[in-house]
Structure 1
Amino acid sequence: MEKSILKKAFYNYLKLGKKALREHRFSKAFYYFENAHILGQKHLYRHTVSHIWLLILGVKKQNFKDVLGQLFRIIASVLFTLIWVPVGNTGGSNVSAVKRMPIRKELQKYF
């Protein structure tokens, strides 16, 4: 798969997540940001950006657990992305930061 297609899909999911966030559709925003995370997790900048948007979502929802979890994950993404990432992990603080997960069906075409 060409890297530019993966990159374009990442930014598309990020855009969809931001739109859903503006509309206060938090569950939808979370889903889109998770997809962006899966697509961007092997790229340092995109991986970190996906966690920043998950953090912003946590702040908007006033969810302390999500905010704390994302602060930890932002630091981890900067330190470990180039070394190792758990493939398929959705990036939310509702799952272990080190758990490998199956790639979602709708994203498999990018891998």
Structure 2
Amino acid sequence: MNKNWQLAVDEAFAQARGALAGARAAEALPWLERAHVLTQRRPWLHARAHWLMLRAGWQLGDVREVLGQLPRILAALLFSRIWVPLGNSGRARVSAFKPMPLSEELRCLLDQATP
């Protein structure tokens, strides 16, 4: 595992958890999207990103986000090693099958990471 990738993942989850703990779900979501992109190929971490998105949706009172994260948690556990849509933000308002563009920074981190 690449140290830079691990630091980026740890920071994204820490920032998201801090925002959720302070009832700042909208602030947590960009960090969770980042964590999602970085962890898509690692089932437990991928599912953790979706679980925290569910919690953010709950804090926001966003029923669509909460309900949309439930099947994504299961899919993350079952399919992360088989196929993921690269760059997908993981949010319920985006198709779970839609690849999305990556920033150069995220592309470099993912290229260096070894699943």
Instruction: Give the TM-score, by structure 1 length.
Output: 0.90
2:28 aligned with 1:29: yes
Deviation string 1:26-51 (CA, Å, 9 cap, x unpaired) is: 22210000000001111111111111
Deviations 1:48-98 (A, max 9, x none): 111111011111112111111000100111111111000000101011001
Unaligned runs of 5+ in 2: 111-115
Letter in 1 for 2:26: S
- Asked if the contact 2:26–2:60 (Cα under 8 Å) also holds between the matched residues in 1, the reply is no
Q: Compute the RMSD of aligned alpha carbons.
A: 1.4
Return the alpha-carbon distance in structure 1 between the equivalents of residues 76 and 86 of structure 2.
Answer: 13
Map 1:1-111 to 2 at 5 A: 3-111=2-110
* Letter in structure 2 aligned against 1:35: R
What amino acid does structure 2 have at the position aligned with 1:88?
A: G
In structure 2, distance between residues paired with 1:16 and 1:109: 21
The CA distance in 1 between the partners of 2:95 and 2:16, in whole Å, is 22
Amino acid at match of 1:91: G
Question: 98-107 vs 57-66, which deviates more?
Answer: 98-107
**Alignment check: 8 A CA contact 1:7 1:40 kept:** no
5+ long unaligned stretches in structure 1: none
2:92 maps to a residue whose letter is S
Please give the alpha-carbon distance, in whole angstroms, between the structure 2 residues aligned to 1:95 and 1:66. 10
Find the aligned partners of 1:104 and 1:71 in 2 and give their Cα distance: 27
Secondary structure of 2:38 counterpart: helix
| Counterparts of 2:103 and 2:89, CA distance in 1 | 9
Offset at residue 106 of structure 1 (A): 4.2
